[in-house]
Amino acid sequence: MSMCSYPQARLKSQFQELIFGKICAIFLRMQKIHFIGIGGIGISNIAFIYLEKGCQVSGSDLKESEITKALQKKGAKIFIGHKAINLKKPDLVIYSEAIPANNPELQKAKKLSLECLSGSQAISRLSKGYFIIAVAGMHGKTTTASMIAQILIKAGFDPSFIIGKKDGWRCGKSKYLIIEADEYKDKFLNYYPDIAVITNIEAEHMDYFKNLENIKKSFCKFASQSKKVIKHKKHNLKLQIPGKHNLYNACLAFEAAKALKIKDSVIKKALFEYKGSWRRFEIKGRYNQAIIIDDYAHHPTEIQATLQAAREKYPKKQIIAVFQPHQYQRLNLLFNDFAKSFSQADQVIVTDVYSVAGRDSVRNGFKPFLTGWGPLQFLL
């Protein structure tokens, strides 16, 4: 090929890509997709992406919420309650992994031989053709993925992302897609990332994994499915958000961005401007002199990290930790670790346990033990 003909060939290729993209967009607009459990954080973000791409979206959930209202406002048809009649012969059914097998909509979809995908399977399909940056690990996934997204946006990469938080979606115009890769039930094994970030590995989700060895095997398999796995390196970074764990997350995000050849100055500026994520040390407001902070920490390691961040940011203030245990089985298996995780708090208030449907087989025997969690002052 001569030098003169190269620009013509390139122009022809770009034209073909444009036509192919338009055909795909038309096809997507013709697709009807029904979501079961559409009000959940993970599933709703997938629904928003499909709406943005022009699909006809419907979905159901047990109750109305801010999320279902936002989806409805964007054009989704929302049903409150799970009923077989909600299913109007869509092209595809996407269901939350929390949905039980006897769900009437899921049962009808399978009876009609409709294509059904779990949330993670849907993300896997959605990611075809993208350069995938997947963030896995027992803790810090949401924050690290959000940091990477901010860096890429500031660097002009215009990425898409699906992250497990409220408003955790973006439909960019580039090839880059950042996803939060959930390890529970090996959901992250649906992904084959170009870049994988593994924040940490620890005993968690033991109702599924049973032991740490099984956890290691799953993460090793995930790493083997990835073209590049980011290694943690220390960097001298300045952040607005407190906590040693956030500095650790930021260093991982820095290395992921370096793998994309983004300049150090751009990365550092983006990380300094990062102000946190939904329910991650989120300051909700003030009451008199008290600062109210919301955090999703539900594992002993996360509780320790959050309270360390609070002590770092407010060294002279009294810290009162109000904790709602998440899942009876987790509380049972990690009870001793929970008992040690509140050492940075001055007072601890423990509420009733939040029971997770389908995951809690052990429910009794906790109340008598809570009052004996050691030297901390518990108010029950």
Indicate which residues carry an active-site annotation. 141-142, 180
Q: Which helix (H) or strand (E) holds 376?
A: none
DSSP assignment of 181-196: ---GGGGGGG---SEE
C-alpha 303/C-alpha 368 separation (Å) is: 22
Rounded to whole angstroms, the Cα distance separating 108 from 86 reads 10
- The structure tokens listed for 182 are 């959930």
Contact assessment for residue 156 and residue 269, using Cβ atoms and an 8 Å cutoff: no
Distances (CA, A) of 263 to 138, 176, 266, 270: 29, 17, 5, 11
Residue 196: beta bridge partners? Answer: 134, 229
Q: What dihedral do alpha carbons 151, 155, 158, 159 form, nearest 10°?
A: -30
Beta-strand (E) ranges in the chain?
Answer: 32-36, 56-61, 77-80, 92-95, 116-118, 131-136, 160-162, 169-170, 176-180, 195-198, 282-287, 290-294, 320-323, 347-350, 378-379
The amino acid sitting at 15 is F
- CA distances 186 to 24, 83, 104, Å, are 30, 29, 25
- The 3-state DSSP class for residue 126 equals helix
> Which residue, 322, 321, 324, 326, is CA-closest to 344?
321
Residues 6+ apart with CB under 8 A from 293: 281, 282, 283, 284, 310
